[in-house]
């Protein structure tokens, strides 16, 4: 029995931004259940541990009852199969996102044809926001209030002090 109602939004979320939250809020209205899945990639140097990234997501999504936070290692399609989910959500900010996302979606389709990737366009207000921009601004003590959810601002600054 396949779990058609579950959508998985995978990413690094290092840390979660207002752009991610906008996508999560919009997708949570489209699917009965949305799983935000933090990639545990030991090869990539992340600022926050997987546990901390999940904790920040949990706080920032506490107003959304059908959103669950999880993590995964290895291939996304293997994780999708393990929870019997068939829809992947990704966000598009600019044309520059397109090429990478297109390639990833095609590879996933080759190895797991039952899985569909859906894309939501960024809201113009958040198009310029990325986790790396948040890290840069926070590293120099800049104001990140317009970039990340209010409830995680302290967590982000604490990473640098
Ligand atoms: P990854 O390292 O997998 O790209 P990210 O946490 O950077 O993980 O992003 C996860 C997903 O969210 C990606 O599909 C990315 O394009 C999308 N995304 C990131 N920032 C925004 C934003 N401001 N608006 C819309 N989508 C976004």
Pick from 20-24, 50-54, 98-102: least confident? 98-102
pLDDT at 161 (0 to 100): 76
Which residue's CA is minimally distant from atom 9 of ligand 1? 11
Task: Give the ranges where 10-117 is alpha helix by DSSP (H).
Answer: 18-28, 50-60, 76-82, 95-111
DSSP secondary-structure letter at 16? -
Domain of 23: which CATH number? 3.40.50.620
pLDDT at 5 (0 to 100): 79
Residue 44 scores a pLDDT above 90: no
Q: Of 93, 98, 42, which is closest to residue 72 (Cα–Cα)?
A: 42
pLDDT at 4 (0 to 100): 67
- Alpha carbon distance 150, 18 (integer Å): 9
The answer to whether the CB of 9 is under 6 A from ligand 1 is no
pLDDT in tens, 113-160: 999 999 999 999 999 999 999 999 999 999 999 999 999 999 999 999
Q: How far is the CA of 9 from the centre of ligand 1 (A)?
A: 9
Mean pLDDT of 34-49: 93
Which residue's CA is minimally distant from atom 27 of ligand 1? 91
The answer to whether the CB of 40 is under 6 A from ligand 1 is no
pLDDT in tens, 45-95: 899 999 999 999 999 999 999 999 999 999 999 999 999 999 999 999 988
33-39/3-11 β-pairing: parallel
Opening angle at CA 113, ends 108 and 119, nearest 5: 55
The answer to whether the CB of 19 is under 6 A from ligand 1 is yes
- Alpha carbon distance 86, 35 (integer Å): 12
Q: How far is the CA of 147 from the centre of ligand 1 (A)?
A: 13
* Domain region containing 64: 3-158
Active site amino acids: 20, 44, 93, 131
Confidence of residue 1 (pLDDT cuts 50, 70, 90): very low
Answer whether 0.75 is exceeded by the pTM: yes
Query: Cβ–Cβ contacts within 10 Å for residue 9, how many?
Result: 23
Q: How many domains does the chain have?
A: 1
| Cα 160 to the center of its chain, rounded Å | 22
The answer to whether the CB of 15 is under 6 A from ligand 1 is no
């Amino acid at each position: 029995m396949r779990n058609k109602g579950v959508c998985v939004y995978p990413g690094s979320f290092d840390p979660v931004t207002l752009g991610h939250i906008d996508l999560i809020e919009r997708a949570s209205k489209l699917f009965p259940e949305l799983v935000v899945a933090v990639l545990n990639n030991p090869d990539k140097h992340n600022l926050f541990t997987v546990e901390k990234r999940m904790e920040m997501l949990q706080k920032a999504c506490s107003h959304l009852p059908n959103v669950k936070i999880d993590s995964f290692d290895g291939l996304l399609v293997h994780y999708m199969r393990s929870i019997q989910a068939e829809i992947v959500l990704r966000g598009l900010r600019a044309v520059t996102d397109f090429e990478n996302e297109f390639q990833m979606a095609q590879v996933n389709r080759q190895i797991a044809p039952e899985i569909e990737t859906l894309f939501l366009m960024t809201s113009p207000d958040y198009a310029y926001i990325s986790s790396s921009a948040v890290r840069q601004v926070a590293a120099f003590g800049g104001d990140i209030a317009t970039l990340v959810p209010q409830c995680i601002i302290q967590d982000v600054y604490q990473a640098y002090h």
